[in-house]
Amino acid sequence: MPKKKKDTQDIPNDMASARQSLVNGQGTSSSYGSTQRNSQMTFQIHDGRNGTVQDLVVVQKLGKGSFGDVYKVEDERGKAFALKRISCRMPSYSNEQAKLIQDLIGNEIFSMINLRHPNIVQLYSYDFEGIAALLVIEFCPGGNLNTRLRDPVNMKQKFDWMSQLLEAMAYLHYNNFVHRDLKPENVLLGDKGQMKLADFGISRAFLTRDLKNNEDSLSEYEEKFMDKYAGTMYWIAPEVFDRKYTEKADIFSLGVIFYAILTRKYLTYQGESYYGAFVNHRGKEVGLGLAMHRSEKTRLPSFDGLKSEAEKLVVGMVTEMLCFREEERISLNRAQKVLEDAKHYLQEDAISMKSSHSRTSSLYTEAPFQDGQADKKSCCCTFLGTKNEDERNEEKKYLVQ
């Protein structure tokens, strides 16, 4: 079936006019939003960049994001996407508050539209439905990291995840973007289990002057509404609470995520488990950043059981990411190098363990010893010397079979 074209006067011809349309409370055309078709909800998306129109059928509701619903949708070929329908206005919001939300939605589009990285969720197309924005993004079937951390993974997998997230964050900062909302729930897993940074709802381009004078301030939106998303508070850097921060705040938040990956420690809030770095402050478990904001002398939580050379390197790296003073935090480039060294040590440890296992196994695959072969008998008895008499007799039976 040919796709019906929208009236071109309703279609923003560039991103600037698209954003202005949204800020003014004008969608491209409210008649081309969600509809019911054969008992299935369908979104018709017009891509303002290339003029194409796409029908997307809702398969299931995935949940609620920061500002709206998230659906799994499929196109006519059966390819899956995630669709975020972000409302710009709620009954309880004033016009001023609604405009702040509209600005944030514009930021999300601008942040994602030109980003191309294997560890960053891809934005494919967008449209506006009245005062709502519709974002068609990459579908990540593996869920989010907060859920994934419920199950244990080996250290190699943990190091690989960290490496992928460092690469994604370095790419963002290189392209002059700060994420500002890093947390395990905003890290998704792709079809091959790879890390994918997502949800740029409060990211924005940062300017050189922000980095020089350190006078960047928390937006009015965050100041008013952040407490509605309590999970976010657990990963925020201490300086964010003072409304003065740079891209180094992302490094702190990423350090909290790395701590969660390494230790799998969590806090339960309203029945939900949140993985991160928590400390006891005045009898209450709080996020590390908030505790540091209240007291610079706050000590980092422990890294229990991480004692190999590779693990100690990464613990040192994460510790530097979690420095109270942002100027003392490790750079992303340096962190990447440390992690590469740690992965090398981990590989050496694995080879060493394999070699050791091979040598141990060879003791059981020696040719059966005969009377008079004192050297081999001695060797076997030395190996079995820590065992009791019954165990030694049993293993001798095995060796002479």
Residue, of 353 and 248, whose pLDDT is higher: 248
Q: What is the pLDDT of residues 147-171, one digit of tens each?
A: 999 999 999 999 999 999 999 999 9
Identify the pLDDT of residue 276.
96
Identify the pLDDT of residue 354.
65
pLDDT class of 42 with cuts at 50, 70, 90: confident
pLDDT class of 130 with cuts at 50, 70, 90: low
Identify the pLDDT of residue 126.
82
Q: What is the pLDDT of residues 56-100, one digit of tens each?
A: 999 999 887 556 789 999 999 999 999 988 776 655 667 777 667
What count of residues does the chain have? 401
Q: Which residues of 49-85 are buried (b: 16+ CB within 10 A; e: fewer)?
A: eeeebbbbbbbeebeebbbbbbbbbeeeeeeebbbbb
Residue 111 tokens, joined: 């942040």
Annotated binding site: 84
Provide the residue type at 235 as one letter. Answer: W
Residue 277, phi then psi, degrees to nearest 5:
-115, 115
Long-range contacts of 24-28 (CB under 8 A, 24+ apart): 25/88, 25/89, 25/98, 25/102, 25/131, 26/128, 27/128, 27/129, 27/130, 27/131, 27/132, 28/127, 28/128, 28/129
Residue, of 224 and 256, whose pLDDT is higher: 256
Using alpha carbons only, what angle is made at residue 336 by residues 273 and 286, rounded to the nearest 5 degrees?
25
Count the Cβ atoms, other than its own, within 10 Å of residue 394: 13
Provide the residue type at 193 as one letter. Answer: G
Longest dimension (CA), the chain: 100
Residue, of 336 and 199, whose pLDDT is higher: 336
Residue, of 272 and 254, whose pLDDT is higher: 254
What's the chain's Rg over C-alpha atoms? Answer: 27
Write down the catalytic residue from 55, 75, 103, 181: 181
State the Cα–Cα distance between residues 87 and 68, nearest whole angstrom: 6
Q: What is the pLDDT of residues 302-322, one digit of tens each?
A: 999 998 999 999 999 999 999
Identify the pLDDT of residue 98.
66
**Is the per-residue pLDDT at 294 higher than 60?**
yes
Q: Is the pTM of this model over 0.75?
A: no
Identify the pLDDT of residue 387.
42
Mean of the pLDDT values across residues 36-58?
Answer: 73
- The answer to whether 260 and 309 are in contact (CB under 8 A) is no
Strand bridging mode 187-189 / 177-178:
unpaired
Strand bridging mode 68-74 / 53-64:
antiparallel
State the Cα–Cα distance between residues 85 and 70, nearest whole angstrom: 6
**Is the per-residue pLDDT at 36 higher than 80?**
no
Identify the pLDDT of residue 349.
78
Is 181 a residue of the active site? yes
Mean of the pLDDT values across residues 365-391?
Answer: 41
Identify the pLDDT of residue 230.
32
The mean pLDDT of the chain is 74
Annotated binding site for ATP: 84
- The answer to whether 4 and 29 are in contact (CB under 8 A) is no
pLDDT class of 173 with cuts at 50, 70, 90: very high
> Which range in 4-8, 15-19, 201-205, 353-357 is most confidently predicted, on average pLDDT?
353-357
Q: 213: which residues sit within 8 A by CB, 6+ positions away?
A: none
How many alpha carbons lie under 13 Å from residue 327 in its C-beta half-sphere?
5
* DSSP H or E stretch at residue 396: helix 389-399
**Is the per-residue pLDDT at 106 higher than 90?**
no
Identify the pLDDT of residue 169.
96
Using alpha carbons, select from 110, 172, 128 the residue that is nearest to residue 11.
Answer: 128
* Domains of the chain, first to last: 40-139 (3.30.200.20), 143-355 (1.10.510.10)
Identify the pLDDT of residue 46.
75
Mean of the pLDDT values across residues 178-184?
Answer: 89
Burial of residue 184 (number of CB atoms within 10 Å: 0-12, 13-18, 19+): buried
